Amino acid sequence: MKRAFPILAVVTLALLGYSAYEALVVAPTDRLQGDVYRIIYYHVPSAWTMFTFFAINFVASVIYLIRRNLKADAVAVAAAEMGVVFNTVVLVTGPLWARPVWGIWWTWDIRLTSTLVLWLIYVSYLLLRRFSSGGQMPLLAATLAVFGALDMPLVYFSIWFFRTQHPQPVVGGGGSIDPRMLHIWLLNWFAFECFGLLVFWWRYRLEMMRREVEETQELESLLETRSPR
């Protein structure tokens, strides 16, 4: 498994380079927006990848609550961190696009606001993990993840009551898109998922190693107190 990492890293890098080339050079320019629209090749795939990781975090948290499996907890923390990274990318690229197209950086629209609330909830999740220690931390974090997941539909409904300004989803939402654009879009999504999963896997390994080191240190200090030299 460890030897597979450099190979996968090279493949992912090539994929990212190819999809960036496709998005910036090959993709046709939008008739209305011009070249500004190309940011959606990063914005939307990041949003989808973010949802993948938050879903992984939720499933891992539930598994931890049921089984008390420490591997599930390591998966949960790695997924939450990756989710927050992609969430930040979404929140930064969105205003960059909105300023020239809408004329404003930010608006309290349903998708924008719920993405921001999602970010807030998961940052508080990571803060909780940082500020608590010991064996109880995974359990506390898992309960917070469940609360956050329960909160999201309510967040969505509460903001849904306001007017929506964000463009309707063009994929599966009845909108129309040039098939070439769609093709490059999906390619970018695939590349982002590969990149995200690769880093996620590495982060998970790091977390497991960190725990092993901690356990060994604890064991050593225990042995030292038992047998004074």
The closest of 96, 85, 17, 74 to 52, measured between CA atoms, is 85
CB 69 within 8 A of CB 42: no
Half-sphere exposure (Cβ direction) of 128: Cα atoms closer than 13 Å: 19
- In a 3-state reduction of DSSP, which class is residue 106? coil
| Residues that contact other proteins, how many (by CB under 8 A) | 29
The residue range among 49-57, 88-96, 144-152, 178-186 that interacts with other proteins, by the rule CB under 8 A, is: 144-152
CB 193 within 8 A of CB 40: no
Q: Given the complex with other proteins, which of 6 and 135 has the nearer CB atom?
A: 135
CB 117 within 8 A of CB 154: no
- Spatial separation of the C-alpha atoms in residues 30 and 44, rounded to whole Å: 16
Q: Given the complex with other proteins, which of 44 and 145 has the nearer CB atom?
A: 145
In the list 1, 4, 28, 136, the residue contacting other proteins (rule: CB under 8 A) is 136
**Of how many residues is the chain composed?**
229
The CA-based diameter of the chain, rounded to the nearest angstrom, is: 79
Residue for token pair 């969430």: 87
In the list 132, 164, 216, 217, the residue contacting other proteins (rule: CB under 8 A) is 132
CB 104 within 8 A of CB 145: no
- Spatial separation of the C-alpha atoms in residues 207 and 59, rounded to whole Å: 18
Q: Given the complex with other proteins, which of 128 and 208 has the nearer CB atom?
A: 128
**158 binding other proteins? (CB under 8 A):** yes
- To the nearest whole angstrom, how small is the minimum distance from the Cβ of residue 154 to other proteins? 4
**155 binding other proteins? (CB under 8 A):** yes
Q: Given the complex with other proteins, which of 67 and 180 has the nearer CB atom?
A: 67
Q: Among residue numbers 102 through 121, which ones bind other proteins (CB under 8 A)? A: 117, 120-121
CB 59 within 8 A of CB 69: no
Q: Among residue numbers 49 through 68, which ones bind other proteins (CB under 8 A)? A: 65
Instruction: Quote the DSSP letter at residue 104.
Output: -
The residue range among 31-39, 94-102, 131-139, 185-193 that interacts with other proteins, by the rule CB under 8 A, is: 131-139
The residue range among 4-12, 92-100, 155-163, 189-197 that interacts with other proteins, by the rule CB under 8 A, is: 155-163
CB 36 within 8 A of CB 23: no
**194 binding other proteins? (CB under 8 A):** no
Q: Given the complex with other proteins, which of 19 and 113 has the nearer CB atom?
A: 113
- To the nearest whole angstrom, how small is the minimum distance from the Cβ of residue 59 to other proteins? 17
Provide the binding-site residues for other proteins, judged by CB under 8 A. Answer: 65, 117, 120-121, 123-124, 127-128, 131-133, 135-137, 139-140, 143-144, 146-148, 150-151, 154-155, 157-159, 161
